[in-house]
Structure 1
């Protein structure tokens, strides 16, 4: 009996498959039902040869016949131009566009280029140390429960000590969702700024990070001699919450995906070392001197 049931089941499956295949073939031969909608179009200054999108959808790289790669934002705003050798006929990129790969048919070569884009970071109203009008601005996005952020503090202190007249360090917040007290700590540090104690509060938080609690935050406020009533009111004010929301939005716009992330005049620091940051600073100063 079971054998017959098995045969019947197999027959049903075969019939189902045949029917599905026939329907698919019928659909394929029927009229097209594809709907098209133009998302964006922009004119190019030269004949395009190849193009590629970054996987995050934020950048478009277009190789032109004029031996250039034009880099656009997804909305068509031009980010920059990269000159390439004659004969480059195909391009590709790393996932976020941080590397550009070139194929040259003239000399049968492959080239791997690192690509850096300077981003505009709004630092208005953000706490800072250093000369207000310094030619080089270092912006750092941090999370007060991030252990690596705490390790970046002495590094930037050394950078400022080595460049007292040319560098300003601006502090931006990017509390990560999985850190329970990162948002209250950011609110607290910004509230302390209202009483001129941001840097001291910042340093105290990182001295005990990543294990933070409401009691720790209040204890730091008392230790620093803050007006507790004003501190508590400011910490919970809409203005402070809006300032933190702005920092988070600025981080998103700058492509920040983790903490700490450091920028030197809008150029992302890839290697967090004293020499690497100093090289970027020296390059920016040399560029401004031209």
Structure 2
């Protein structure tokens, strides 16, 4: 019996199409499937940022590549998909990571008015941003991320893959950093 959820590896490898910090040739490529309205996704992202800073300082900037893929859980988070679209609309204007950080930092304020405020604070072209949201220009990109996650066994966010292998350890700094360093050997 072939059950997709039994997969413990990333079936769609990282590519230049992904939203990333770092380079694909890094010793370790960390892929996160996340939901902007999910508090655990925000906590794991903060944890990754701490680890990324520490590893960059001690092992070099090109040691870790971080990739974010959308996995909005619309059945429990009503704003998640629209917020993912806002992040993608910001990406088109070169501000994905700034919007990404803002959305995770303000999880309790993700209604449309706040999204416009965040876009304005980032200096985005607001008419273009609103047009992208109203026409759901980026929905296919988000759905592709969801599909790649589902095919790799992701059922809920957050989910992490280290060099293509599912991370099933605890969401703690030492455990995750140990797994990342071990993957580079």
TM-score bracket relative to the smaller structure: 0.7 to 0.9
Q: Which runs of 5+ in 1 are unaligned?
A: 1-52, 60-95, 98-115
Paired residues, number = 177
Q: Which runs of 5+ in 2 are unaligned?
A: 57-61
Q: Is 2:72 the partner of 1:170?
A: no
Answering whether residue 22 of structure 2 is matched by residue 143 of structure 1, we say: no
Which residue of 165, 172, 179 corresponds with 1:267?
165
Q: Kindly name which structure, 1 or 2, has the bigger radius of gyration based on alpha carbons.
A: 1
1:278 aligned to 2:169? no
| 1:120 correspondence with 2:65 | no
Q: Distance in 2 between matches of 1:204 and 1:285?
A: 31
Alpha-carbon displacement from aligned partner over 1:187-213 (angstroms, at most 9, x marks no partner): 000110111111111111111104421
Spell out, residue by residue over 1:107-127, the C-alpha distance to the aligned partner (whole angstroms, 9 max, x if none): xxxxxxxxx833333433221
Alpha-carbon shift at residue 132 of structure 1 (Å): 4.0
CA RMSD of aligned residues (A): 2.0
The TM-score normalised by the length of structure 1 is 0.57
- Cα distance per residue 1:10-63 (max 9 Å; x no partner): xxxxxxxxxxxxxxxxxxxxxxxxxxxxxxxxxxxxxxxxxxx5xxx517xxxx
Equivalent in the alignment of 1:216 = 114
- Specify the alignment match of 1:226 in structure 2: 124
Q: Match of 2:140?
A: 242
Structure 1 CA distance for aligned equivalents of residues 174 and 23 of structure 2: 21
Structure with a larger share of its residues in strand: 1
